[in-house]
Every structure is written in C-alpha cells, then in structure tokens.
Amino acid sequence: MKAVVAENLTILYDGKPALERVSFSLDEGETLLLLGPNGAGKTSLLKTISCFHGEYTGRVEVFGREPCEARELIGYVPQSHSLNERVPLTALEVVAMGAIYRRGFVHFKIPRETMERAEKALEFVGLGGLGERLFSQLSGGQKQRLLLARALISDPKLLLLDEPLSALDPSARAEVAGVLSKIKSRKGLTMVITTHDINPLLDIGDRVMLINKRLIAFGRPEEVLTDDVIKSVYGPLARVIPVGGKLFCITGDVHLHRHGGGGR
C-alpha cells in the first residue's frame, strides 16, 4: 500500500503558491529525505501531509485517506527549539503527551500503563533513566530523541520529521540519525524527513526529493544526488562526492562524518 501519494499538489498561503505541482508517491516502510534551501516549501509539504495546513489544490493522501482523516496514523516531530521550554515538564510527561489525547478531555493523571509505555519509548531512543529530568535540562540531541519517543508512543504508521538535525552538533546529529536508523530497522515505519544536511541520513534514505518551490528531482539517492541536480538548487559550489562507496553532499551545511550501514 502507498503510504503517501501526492498528485499535482500545489500548496497555497493566502492564495499564493509556496510549492507548485508536486507529484510523488512513497511505499509503506520507505524513508523519504526531503531536501531544499530555506523557503523551498519543505515544511509546507510536511504540514500539508500532517493536516496542519489545508490550503492546497491537487491530491494528497496518507494510507489512502485525506490527511486530516489519517491523523491517528501520523506522528509529527517538530524541531525541539520550537517548543516552550518555560513549561516545567519532565521527559516522561512529554513522552506521555503522545498517548493520552486519543481519548478524553481531562488528563489530570497520566495512567500507569501510559507511563510504562513512555519509559519503554525513552529506553528505545536511548534515554532510559532520564524520565524525571526536565525537558529544559536535556541537551539538543536528547530533546530531539525525546520528541521521537513521544511520536513513537502514539503508534504511528507514518513519521514526519521537521529538520530533526538542525541546531545540533555533529555527535548529536549522529545520535539522532542512529535512532532514526533503529526506528527504520526495528519498527519499519514510513518516514518523511526534511533536512538541510542529508549526509548523516543517507544510510536510511530510500528516496530523496529535492524541491525549491517546485519539484526538482525525486528518486533513489544515487539517481537524484548528482552534481547537476545539487548545483541547480544550491548554486555552483555545491557538489556530490563519492567517498568509499558512499555519497556526500556539499551544500553549504556539511558534516562529513560517517555512520554504520551499507554504502551506496
């Protein structure tokens, strides 16, 4: 079954297009790396798929349904620095947030079963033992992994990640990329990941999409990541370098570190 289908999709803001005539499809279990410069329409596409933005023409479906009808199948992971850190919530409470809104309006107490699931989700992302720590006291990489745990506890079939590597140092990027790789191999979820730095994620990317207000390229990484395509978006200094059977993109935001997994 197709996890995400977009046909001739044009996303509008106040009637003006942010992204025009995009068509692509993603199979269940595949990971799409969504690449493009600032203002290219990456977040707009993510918000449209996740039902946060409804002004568009064309067709978009998530597991055969309209985005807003498929909301319970979607786990949305925002950028950690977009959250309000003044709110004194512990890591466990943040993770539990992903599970409690399926039913009821009043959530005075988090059910024990939900807390146990939250603890397991924290362990899965490598944050076991940090459940009582405040969100504001975690490092950038830990916060991003925590948000992954929150998305996982809602049992999604599709994970949408908005620049999960942004504002992280190289080691934190590697940690987050490692967790994403683990999610792919152990849970087999479909993922759409927007990123400026594709290199730490190339090992898990089944498809790469390059956009800049419109679709520039879509396909397997080795098909899309060519000098010509990258230069058409990021300018003449951008390039793709094969190193030891792996591809590295130099787009102006580069971290040439390697991760485990097969090269392409």
Partner 1 sequence: MIPEYLIRAFLASIMVSVLLGMLSPLINTKGLAFLTHALFHSLLFGAVLGMILALLFENMALVTLTALLVTLVVVLLIACLEKRGFSSDSAVGIVASFVAGLIVLGFGVLYSVMADRPYFPLSENIVSYLTGDIFLITISNLEALAVGGVLLFFLMLALYRDFLYLSFDPEGMESYGGNTTAYLMVLYAIVGAIGALIVQTVGLITLQVVAILPGAIALMVSNDLRKVLGVSLFVTLTVQLSSVALAYFTNIPPSGLATIALGIIYGALLIRR
- Residues near partner 1 (CB under 8 A) are 50-52, 71-72, 74-76, 78, 82-84, 86-89, 93-94, 97-102, 105-108, 110, 134-136, 147, 150, 154
Q: Which is nearer to partner 1, 156 or 200 (CB)?
A: 156
Q: Token pair for residue 48?
A: 């449209």
Q: Which is nearer to partner 1, 15 or 244 (CB)?
A: 15
Cβ at position 132, least distance to partner 1 in Å = 10
Cβ at position 112, least distance to partner 1 in Å = 15
Q: Which is nearer to partner 1, 118 or 225 (CB)?
A: 118
The residue length of the chain stands at 264
Cβ at position 253, least distance to partner 1 in Å = 25
Cβ at position 191, least distance to partner 1 in Å = 15
Alpha-carbon distance of 160 to 163, in angstroms, equals 10
Q: Which is nearer to partner 1, 127 or 198 (CB)?
A: 127
Q: Which is nearer to partner 1, 105 or 228 (CB)?
A: 105
Q: Where are the beta strands (DSSP E) in the chain?
A: 2-13, 16-27, 31-35, 56-62, 74-77, 158-162, 190-195, 207-211, 215-219, 239-243, 246-250
Cβ at position 28, least distance to partner 1 in Å = 20
Alpha-carbon distance of 103 to 25, in angstroms, equals 32
Tell me the CA distances in angstroms from 69 to 50, 73, 153, 191, 199, one per residue in order. 10, 9, 20, 18, 34
